[in-house]
Amino acid sequence: MQKKLIQKYNTPGPRYTSYPTVPYWDENTFSLESWKQTLVKSYRETNQKDGISVYIHLPFCESLCTFCACHKHITKRHEVEDDYIDTVLEEWKLYLQLLGEKPRVKELHFGGGTPTFFSPENLIRLLEGLFENAEIHPEHEFSIEGHPNNTTREHLQALYDFGFKRISFGVQDYDLQIQEAINRIQPYENVERVTLQAREIGYESISHDLVFGLPFHSLEKMKETIRLTKQLNPDRIAFYSYAHVPWVKGVGQRGFDEEDLPTPDKKRELYEVGKQMLEELDYVEIGMDHFALKSDSMYQAMINQKLHRNFMGYTTSNTQVMIGLGMSAISDSWYSFAQNHKSVKKYTDLVKGGTIPVVKGHILNEEDLLIRRHILNLMCHMETDFTEAKFPELESVKNNLAEMEKDELIIFEDNRLKVTEKGRIFVRNICMAFDLRMLRNQPQTKIFSMTI
């Protein structure tokens, strides 16, 4: 039965880090001025004690990993660090002028690219510049993505001393054949070193990113990777499905042949067996693609109904304003989204010309805001309530869900929609039933990865 459901629902679909999703942003109603207005409005609505989130995109990598779908810039020239940091700090000043006061930063995340491409000294220079005219929220959560091959004890100590308590390491898989296929040679010893160093220094949450469905993946290889992962006992595990989207990312995802990838049935088996193994090791499934020990703050956020999801993925802080700094970074004012230029040069030129470097975005209308809330509820809590958040097309959405209800993926109870345990792996499909923008304008070409 499960195999038939996978065949039935394995269709292209978004991961819903936002609604509307980026391909369905209405750029005709968006402008830089409208973005500024909605940002200021949202910031003024936000109580200072709630704080804001800041995401900083550090795009440089020394080599290309062929599984990666991130916006990155490949170079071995580390002299690019200084100018990029200067530009990010100039962009931050443009936002400070717009906000008109010192914001309190509750959540800060360094993503990439490879954030640890930057030297510890330059990361601290970036942080000192950021907080020259901003305050650190007393309940802050600062985090960074680290590459095990180039993250040093000096990186870990310097960031910890500044207030970073969470770090995630991209592991993907420990099998050498897979590592060679995705151009990411990364011995277990390197992951062990940085994990133990982070724990010794005092990091409260250490996460490992694992990917299933990579080329040459098999149950035996995945079981060995999870066995090695357990030896290091990370607090969180992101267990991602490999998103094969070469039509979007080009040659970066054509470093291997299509026949080297596991079939959809084999890929789902990888997930099911992996999930069972993680649960046997006392990890609890959280939202989509994530697992955590009960001692971790992400588990506590789920229990307390405070789990949030945005362009940084799942977070434990639900801030209304998120400002994205750096090339390709996306900002979120709740009422609107704005994305920076994806070219380092264009991004730099705009900032140095005194302009917030936004290239596109979307202003959410009333319908968008209601649907966004439902999708956010489903992605974070596996349920949503129709009591207040009603919209004209609600009955149409319920009709879209009828087949899923018949397949026991969801149940309706007292004006609430709940995802069943059986339906959990199909949560992206369930959210798609709410996605009126996509339903009204079905894509004519491939733009999303497969949901299963």
Q: Indicate the annotated binding residues for [4Fe-4S] cluster.
A: 61, 65, 68
* Residues forming a β-bridge with 419: 410
Distance CA 269, CA 114 (A): 31
Annotated binding site for S-adenosyl-L-methionine: 55, 67-69, 112-114, 145, 172, 184, 209, 243, 330
Cα distances (Å, whole numbers) of residue 104 to 19, 94, 140, 285, 291:
26, 16, 9, 31, 29
Annotated binding site: 55, 61, 65, 67-69, 112-114, 145, 172, 184, 209, 243, 330
